Structure 1
Amino acid sequence: MTVRLPDPQQPTATTAGQPTADDARQAAAREFLADLESAMQPTTDPDRVPAATSFRDHSPLPAVGTTPPVPQPGRPPMSQRAADISGVMVASSVPTFAIGTAATGVLWASGHADPAVIGMICAAPAAVAVPILALARVLRRAKETVEAAPPVHHHHYNGPVHQDHRSINTQTRGVWAKTSNELPR
Structure 2
Amino acid sequence: MEHIDRTPGVQLSESEAAAEARRIIASLAEPEPAPTPTSYRSTEPNAPGTAAPVAQEGRPPMSQRATDLSGLMLAGSVASLSVGGATSLVLYTLGQVDPVTLAVGAAGPVALVLAVGSLIRSAGRAKADAHTEHHHHYNGTVRQETTNVSSTTKGLFAKNRNDVR
Q: TM-score range by the shorter chain?
A: 0.3 to 0.5
> Which of structures 1 and 2 has the bigger CA Rg?
1
Larger RCO (CA within 8 A; separation ≥ 6): 2
